[in-house]
Amino acid sequence: MNSNEFREWSLRAAEWGADYRSTLRERPVRPLVEPGEISRSIDVSPPEHGETMQAIFADFERKILPGMTHWQHPRFFAYFPANAAPVSVLAEYLVSVMAAQCMLWQTSPAATELETRVVDWMRQALRLPEGFSGVMQDSASSATLAAVLTMRERALDWQGNKKGLQGQPILRVYSSDQVHTSIDRAIWVAGVGEDNLVRIPVAGRFRAMDVAALEAAIVADRQAGMLPAGIIACVGGTSTGGTDDIAEVAAVARRHGLYLHVDAAWAGSAMICPEYRHFWAGVEQADSIVFNPHKWLGAQFDCSMQFIRRPDDLVRTLAIKPDYLKTHGRDGIINYSEWSVPLGRRFRALKLWFLLRAHGLENLRTMIRNHVAWSEGLAERLAKEPDFEIVSEPMLSLFSFRHLVAGTESNQHNLRLVNAINDDGRIYLTQTRVDGQVAIRFQVGQFETTAADVDTAFMVITEIARRLA
């Protein structure tokens, strides 16, 4: 592809993107395809000779697009959002064109220095203390893995990377069952072992860890000759929004000298609004915190932010410095590859810089407040319907509900309902289990959702539920 063709197809792609985003409401949120249908339409073997862009683009529209779930659809109410505000998309195009590998300061000074500045912008927006530094990771999974590795090394007096885990005391990490499965994976990869992730019972509306049970588990493990390493607390868990009392958990961590990591991957974005910060009161006592601007703030995936109280501990855990990765003659610089598991790093800060400048914090606060209000309003409307029950009350913009039909097995009926809703295509929901019983999750978070879209959700949910009944 020469420069003229690159210009032509860049313009074509931009026009296609604008048309795509403007017509999303006309499309089903989730594709109506069968497993294997897409792969059968794609050649089994790679081409020996190049093809025209016309042919490639036509196949994209004909074969690929019909099989895509539209995450930017305003009626995407499933999972948590993976927002991509248009201004963020533009920034990502520039990043892709430059294609810089931003592992060190010297491999792109602007990328490193902008990341430092933008991370501090977000620290200020969340009202975290000045002592926190931060790094942009690809996802909360990577941030949590980095935190677990750090708590492991700190507990082992920095000998785990050097000597391995064989012959060391059995490490223990504590969390509730409301945390994301990325915590389980971090425990696996760090070598701690699934059996040593201690699940603490939960209680109350927000399914918070029982801190008395947490402290008792730590004491019992010490007495049994095990080595408690850290606690992973949750703010806005994926299932129903489970949220721990961070101040109380932090007090336990402090008494026992344990590392505290707070997973606020989704809910952390809402903390730019002062009225929601009570959900993580005490977070300034954490050793690390993760939240994902790519979920609720509108920064294109991937864009996860990890705040760290003692970055030297993280660097001591992860940094490897062969001579070819040294920046000679420069003191006091940051090489963010030493703050993350992968060596290679994308230029993630640009899209967040564009986003914050284009929208400003107050517009982003308004969006989040609207989403919370609309979700609470929908929960209230469903609660008034005689054949619906609210299973978990709204935590910010997330709640769960169940449809009730006399004489019908509830779990099977609600699974049939969520599948029928998604096959209908007008909205997209997911299911979860609460106390062992199926419930249907609903959350508002897509960047361009309106109150009318939430009204549509009420209509679709009630209409299809009663049709099935």
- pLDDT of 147-195, one tens digit each? 999 999 999 999 888 888 888 899 999 998 888 788 888 999 888 989 9
> 369 and 281 in one domain?
no
> 4 and 137 in one domain?
no
The answer as to whether 130 is a domain residue is yes
Range of the domain at 57: 36-64
> 47 and 19 in one domain?
no
The answer as to whether 354 is a domain residue is no
User: Where does a domain end: 296, 320, 346?
Assistant: 346
Q: Could you tell me which of 372, 354, 294, 366 has the C-alpha nearest to residue 83?
A: 294
Claim: this prediction has a pTM higher than 0.85: yes
- Angle, alpha carbons 240-369-246 (nearest 5°): 50
Cβ count near 219 (within 10 Å): 12
Q: Check which CATH number belongs to the domain holding 314 and give it.
A: 3.40.640.10
> 108 and 44 in one domain?
no
* CA–CA dist 183, 186 (Å, integer): 5
The answer as to whether 351 is a domain residue is no
Inter-axis angle of helices 3-22 and 86-98, to 10 degrees? 160
The answer as to whether 96 is a domain residue is no
The answer as to whether 355 is a domain residue is no
The answer as to whether 88 is a domain residue is no
The answer as to whether 402 is a domain residue is yes
* pLDDT of 328: 43
The parts of the chain modelled with pLDDT lower than 70 are 321-332
- pLDDT of 393-444, one tens digit each? 999 999 999 999 887 789 999 999 999 999 999 999 999 999 889 999 999 9
For the four alpha carbons of 84, 85, 89 and 94, in that order, the dihedral sign comes to negative
> 325 and 180 in one domain?
yes
> 204 and 300 in one domain?
yes
Taking CA atoms, 169 is separated from 152, 225, 453, in Å, by 11, 7, 54
Cβ count near 214 (within 10 Å): 24
* pLDDT of 331: 56
* CA–CA dist 455, 75 (Å, integer): 10
> 73 and 106 in one domain?
no
> 433 and 414 in one domain?
yes
User: Where does a domain end: 346, 378, 409?
Assistant: 346
Contact present, 277 and 127 (Cβ < 8 Å) = yes
* pLDDT of 100: 84
Q: Could you tell me which of 453, 424, 464, 457 has the C-alpha nearest to residue 441?
A: 457
Assess whether the previous peptide bond of 302 is cis (omega < 30° from 0).
Answer: yes
> 153 and 230 in one domain?
yes
> 262 and 152 in one domain?
yes
> b/e string for 324-358 if b means 16 or more Cβ within 10 A?
ebeeeeeeeebbbbbbbbeeebbbbbbbbbbbbee
Structure-derived torsion over alpha carbons of residues 316, 317, 319, 321, reported in degrees to the nearest 10 = 70
* pLDDT of 165: 86
User: Where does a domain end: 286, 321, 346?
Assistant: 346
The answer as to whether 356 is a domain residue is no
> 407 and 313 in one domain?
no
- pLDDT of 318-349, one tens digit each? 887 655 455 544 556 888 888 888 888 888 99
> 320 and 242 in one domain?
yes
* pLDDT of 409: 85
Query: Looking at the 3D structure of the chain, how many domains does it have?
Result: 3
